[in-house]
Amino acid sequence: MPMQATTSPKTGRRCQGTKGDPMQELCHTVAANLKRHRKALSMTQAALAEAIGYSEKAVSKWESGKGLPPTAILPSLAAVLRTTPTALLTTEAATQLFLGIDGGGTKTEFILADSEGTLLRRTVLGASNPNDVGMSAMQEVLRRGIMEVASEYAPESISVFAGIAGGTTSDVAKKIHDFLSRFGFAAVGNGSDAQNAISAGLGTEDGVALIMGTGSVAFAQKSGTLHRIGGYGYLLGDAGSGYALGRDAILAALQQEDGSGEPTALHGLVLGKCGGEHVLPALGEFYRGGKTYIAQYAPLLFEAARGGDSVALSILKTQLKEIAKLIAGAAKRLQADTASVVLCGGLATAHQDMILPLLEAYLAEGDVAYRLRICTCTMAEGALYLAGMKRKDELSC
């Protein structure tokens, strides 16, 4: 029997017919898309109905596949659901896609790619470490990023891996997994940002992955087994991290002011960032901002060191000696005469011209021959591989 569709100004077109009819397939597609986008926003049917000026009964009818929303309401409906009319009406389930998410204490990167490794969408949002921003704020960052890069694609075509700093305790990991599962992805995996770094920098090879971001940590990978060295957080360590370098830069500026330290270019640089005539009045701001805010001062240390400032150079050398200890400790786990070391994270990438020579000099004092390199992939690309995207030679880091 041919498809029948009647139109009501209150509920839109009614869907009737047999399975396989084009209109019936469209009804099912729209129903699935509406429900997915609404749930991703943690929105009830009643809230959606109120936002577009329709009844809850109408929304329920559309999501059950028994009716289609009127064409005139599609732009408003898509706007409320933060997507496009086309995305509500279409599906691309035949295409295999991969979504990699890397969440840290400073930023969260989202990358969507196809099976050939072609980048389709990318966005960068704020911090998502649940220990810093809280579970609700982390979920909001994830939701926004996912909607920005993946809302125009069918979720059943996407496999996702989210490596989130602070996201590996059993309770938090389950909450993240449950949250991601609500989007209807084909496959969902989640773990720590360290897994992203190891995937990006080492793949399956033996070696050491050193992460220099807001925090710092080293991992040794041998025959598929991971060993963690350091990474105990800013209260107990994180030497060489953005936080530690930023903290010491601010401290040097404060010590110049109170007379306990030497004159340093860091004083003027810190003042230029925090404002005012003195650094001390900004003390409350430093404490309120926390470790992520403090880490924003780390680039000033490199700027001063490049200018030949002796205080900045001394701080940098002290911190990198601690990083060298992390690397040496990780290399012991490899039980080999040589060690491949990949440095990951924003600090290592941005300031490799200063970091690599110093680390090479400190590590040359030991018995192991180290091969240091900077990871050429982002950690979000490492997440793509963990999501299932095939690693190719030209995509390897």
306 shares its domain with 354 = yes
pLDDT of residue 29: 86
For strand 369-374 and strand 338-344, is the pairing parallel, antiparallel, or unpaired? parallel
Residue range(s) defining the domain that contains residue 228: 203-375
Does the structure show a pLDDT above 80 at 170? Answer: no
32 shares its domain with 114 = no
Of 191, 215, 243, the residue at which a domain comes to its end is 191
H-run or E-run covering 89:
helix 85-89
Nearest partner of 323 among 215, 206, 224, 200, judged by Cα: 215
151 shares its domain with 167 = yes
Of 69, 89, 109, the residue at which a domain comes to its end is 89
* CATH number for position 79: 1.10.260.40
255 shares its domain with 295 = yes
342 shares its domain with 222 = yes
Q: How many residues does the chain have?
A: 397
CA 52 vs. chain centroid, Å, equals 33
User: What would the two tokens of residue 308 be?
Assistant: 């030949």
User: What would the two tokens of residue 264 be?
Assistant: 């340093």
For strand 369-374 and strand 207-212, is the pairing parallel, antiparallel, or unpaired? unpaired
Does the structure show a pLDDT above 90 at 14? Answer: no
In degrees to the nearest 10, what's the CA dihedral of 341, 168, 148, 55? 170
pLDDT of residue 213: 86
* CATH number for position 236: 3.30.420.40
User: What is the rounded CA–CA span in Å between residue 97 and residue 155?
Assistant: 9
User: What would the two tokens of residue 378 be?
Assistant: 């982002």
User: What would the two tokens of residue 217 be?
Assistant: 């940590």
219 shares its domain with 349 = yes
CB 36 within 8 A of CB 63: no
312 CB neighbour count, 10 Å cutoff: 25
120 shares its domain with 30 = no
Helix 283-295 to helix 242-258 angle, to the nearest 10 degrees?
150
Does the structure show a pLDDT above 70 at 386? Answer: yes
- Is residue 324 in some structural domain? yes
63 shares its domain with 136 = no
217 shares its domain with 340 = yes
Question: Per-residue pLDDT tens for 186-235?
Answer: 899 999 988 998 999 898 899 999 999 888 999 999 988 889 999 888 88
Stated pTM of the model: 0.69
263 shares its domain with 364 = yes
Mark residue 278 as left, alpha or beta (left: phi above 0; alpha: psi -120 to 50; beta: remaining): beta
Question: Mean pLDDT, to the nearest integer, of 266-286?
Answer: 95
pLDDT of residue 92: 52
User: What is the rounded CA–CA span in Å between residue 165 and residue 195?
Assistant: 10
38 shares its domain with 134 = no
CB 299 within 8 A of CB 273: no
187 shares its domain with 255 = no
- Is residue 380 in some structural domain? no
> What's the structural domain count of the chain?
3
Question: Per-residue pLDDT tens for 123-143?
Answer: 999 999 998 899 999 999 999
How much of the chain exceeds pLDDT 90, in percent? 60
pLDDT of residue 1: 34
User: What would the two tokens of residue 259 be?
Assistant: 């007379």
Of 142, 159, 191, the residue at which a domain comes to its end is 191
